[in-house]
Homo-oligomer: A and B are copies of this chain.
Amino acid sequence: MTTTDEDERTRNASTKTNPDIYDEDGVVRSDFLTEVNDAIERGDTPFLQQNVVRLHESELGDLLESLPADQRLALVQLLGDDFDMTALTQVDDAIRMEIVDQLPNDQIAAGIGELDSDDAVYILEDLDQEDRDEILSQLPFTERVRLRRALDYPESSAGRRMQTEFVAVPPFWTVGQTIDYMREEEGLPEAFTQIFVIDPTFKLLGSVDLDRILRAKRQTKVESIMRETSHPIPAVMDQEEAAQVFEQYDLLSAAVVDENDRLVGVLTIDDVVDVIHEEADEDIKRLGGVGDEELSDNITSTVRSRFVWLAVNLITAILASSIIDVFDGAIEKMVALAVLMPIVASMGGNAGTQTMTVTVRALATGDLDIYNAFRVIRREAGVGFLNGILFAIIMGAIATFWFHDFQLGIVIGAAMIINLVAAALGGILLPLVLHRFGADPAIASSAFVTTVTDCTGYFSFLGLATWWFSIHLGR
């Protein structure tokens, strides 16, 4: 152990992330970036080979993202065959597309040949048919067949995300035979945590985790230690559903099977972690009214994607304003109504968003179902009513003092209660209804909920005021 000191350093070094590259905030260090920049500009391949090639794929991905756009391709080309294409799976879609589009197809083919099949598919699936075919045609036969099969499965399916390399043995083999096979065989996957047991037609019989193999005696038959219920994933299953199976049963990897229960690949937890991230990302962005936007998108595509949402909002805002328009006479007589009405609408909007957020999230995680829906609806209505009363008192008092008008305080208080109850009901019922009809509640709920609260807010406040003051005061 003469290398202990150096090990020590390397090990501590990587405790958080590699300090050769990252500063304390986890951002690529600017001096490192400048060095790479300069090296790219003077075409210093040896420097890059020494300092960039050794990076982990995710570190290389971060480096690519930090470089100016025109230097990314230059770096990839300077590195040539030494560039690890896995890094392309670690960058923004837009940056990947930009690099891949400009690389010659034969360089992509050479790079992709080195990758695990799931990473190769990840890069290939975004290319247009023509480029994809050209690249595939330059790959060895088995590789090509495997990738084509994965690409034939629908987008976002388990078949697209799976790795087609796996270890499979017959059930009658012993643990000893299996270990000897693994010691001899050259073409094993780069890393694996379980092996699969199949019959001669590749039908999946079960799986054995590696630790079970290591604990068993050499003469033990594989079939006697295999787990039969290994939660195989149909290749056509949506990746999101597959992720839920992984989560529910704490899987590290799972067999992917075709429609005849034949083993075609293996889905691993690292891909599932990516899926979980993507799904959470999607939910957050949809709630915020931005579609599948990425940070690297350009101005035009961003304007276009946000325009739709803002246009929907414009329609709902005009709808709410047309309610105000109905009461223009009341406002003319009493401008305080115009001053106070946005408060009622805004409180409703926020309360509705709160309820909606909880509901959308609970629907996404499967926590909300028929057994607790009624209880949750009752609770939300109760919360809306109680908070309505609290804010009715607070805002009633404020309005009374502000405009020296006790009756105005009563009117705004009553409107507040009505709107917070409406917000609670809208916030839970709209996502539930959208979900029931198969729509994604995250995408449309916030527009609908604020429409409900804006309209209810203006109508209840202005309507109550008109009625109260005309009846009670004859103003």
In the complex, A154 has a CB within 8 A of chain B = no
The interface residues of chain B lying within 8 Å CB-to-CB of A59 are 248
How far apart sit A13 and B245, CA to CA, in the bound complex (Å)?
13
In the complex, A332 has a CB within 8 A of chain B = yes
How far apart sit A320 and B347, CA to CA, in the bound complex (Å)?
13
The interface residues of chain B lying within 8 Å CB-to-CB of A30 are 370
In the complex, A342 has a CB within 8 A of chain B = yes
A266-309 interface code vs B (CB 8 A; 1 in, 0 out): 00011011001100110111011110010110110011001101
Q: Could you tell me which residues of chain A, from 441 to 473, have a CB within 8 Å of some CB in chain B?
A: 450, 454, 458
How far apart sit A222 and B280, CA to CA, in the bound complex (Å)?
40
The interface residues of chain B lying within 8 Å CB-to-CB of A366 are 26-27
From A286, which residue of chain B is reached at the shortest CB distance? B357
In the complex, A414 has a CB within 8 A of chain B = no
From A57, which residue of chain B is reached at the shortest CB distance? B250
The interface residues of chain B lying within 8 Å CB-to-CB of A126 are none
In the complex, A340 has a CB within 8 A of chain B = yes
* A2 to B: closest C-beta gap in Å: 11
Stretch among A44-52, A72-80, A96-104, A311-319 lining the B interface: A311-319
Q: A234 contacts which of B15, B340, B361 (Cβ < 8 Å)? A: B15
Q: Are the CB atoms of B287 and A287 closer together than 8 Å?
A: yes
The interface residues of chain B lying within 8 Å CB-to-CB of A361 are 281, 284-285
Query: Do A387 and B11 contact each other (CB < 8 Å), given the known contacts A277-B276, A289-B357, A353-B289?
Result: no
Q: Are the CB atoms of A357 and B288 closer together than 8 Å?
A: yes
Q: A58 contacts which of B249, B284, B391 (Cβ < 8 Å)? A: B249
In the complex, A211 has a CB within 8 A of chain B = yes
In the complex, A10 has a CB within 8 A of chain B = yes
The interface residues of chain B lying within 8 Å CB-to-CB of A324 are 338-339, 342
Q: Could you tell me which residues of chain A, from 309 to 357, have a CB within 8 Å of some CB in chain B?
A: 309-311, 313-314, 316-318, 320-322, 324-325, 328, 331-332, 335-336, 338-343, 345-347, 350-351, 353-354, 356-357
Q: A285 contacts which of B14, B290, B357, B382 (Cβ < 8 Å)? A: B357
Query: Do A229 and B276 contact each other (CB < 8 Å), given the known contacts A7-B206, A387-B310?
Result: no
* A77 to B: closest C-beta gap in Å: 21
Q: Are the CB atoms of A342 and B284 closer together than 8 Å?
A: no
Q: A182 contacts which of B214, B229, B261, B310 (Cβ < 8 Å)? A: B214
The interface residues of chain B lying within 8 Å CB-to-CB of A320 are 342, 346
In the complex, A213 has a CB within 8 A of chain B = yes
Q: Could you tell me which residues of chain A, from 402 to 440, have a CB within 8 Å of some CB in chain B?
A: none
Q: Are the CB atoms of B171 and A1 closer together than 8 Å?
A: yes
Q: Are the CB atoms of B386 and A299 closer together than 8 Å?
A: yes
Q: A310 contacts which of B15, B211, B233, B350 (Cβ < 8 Å)? A: B350
* A191 to B: closest C-beta gap in Å: 6
Q: Could you tell me which residues of chain A, from 89 to 116, have a CB within 8 Å of some CB in chain B?
A: 92
The interface residues of chain B lying within 8 Å CB-to-CB of A192 are 211
The interface residues of chain B lying within 8 Å CB-to-CB of A183 are 214-217
The interface residues of chain B lying within 8 Å CB-to-CB of A338 are 324, 328, 331, 335, 338, 341
In the complex, A201 has a CB within 8 A of chain B = no
Q: Are the CB atoms of A295 and B372 closer together than 8 Å?
A: yes
In the complex, A376 has a CB within 8 A of chain B = yes
* A393 to B: closest C-beta gap in Å: 12
The interface residues of chain B lying within 8 Å CB-to-CB of A15 are 231-234, 237
Q: Could you give 11 example pairs across A and B, Cβ below 8 Å?
A: A11-B204, A11-B229, A179-B214, A273-B273, A281-B365, A284-B284, A310-B354, A313-B346, A314-B347, A316-B346, A317-B343
Residues of chain A having any CB pair with chain B under 8 Å: 1, 3-4, 7-8, 10-17, 25-28, 30, 33, 56, 58-59, 65-66, 92, 171, 179, 182-183, 188, 191-193, 204-206, 209-211, 213-217, 223, 228-234, 237, 241, 244-250, 252, 261, 269-270, 272-273, 276-277, 280-281, 283-285, 287-290, 293, 295-296, 298-299, 302-303, 306-307, 309-311, 313-314, 316-318, 320-322, 324-325, 328, 331-332, 335-336, 338-343, 345-347, 350-351, 353-354, 356-358, 360-362, 365-372, 376, 379, 382-383, 386-387, 390-391, 394-395, 398, 450, 454, 458
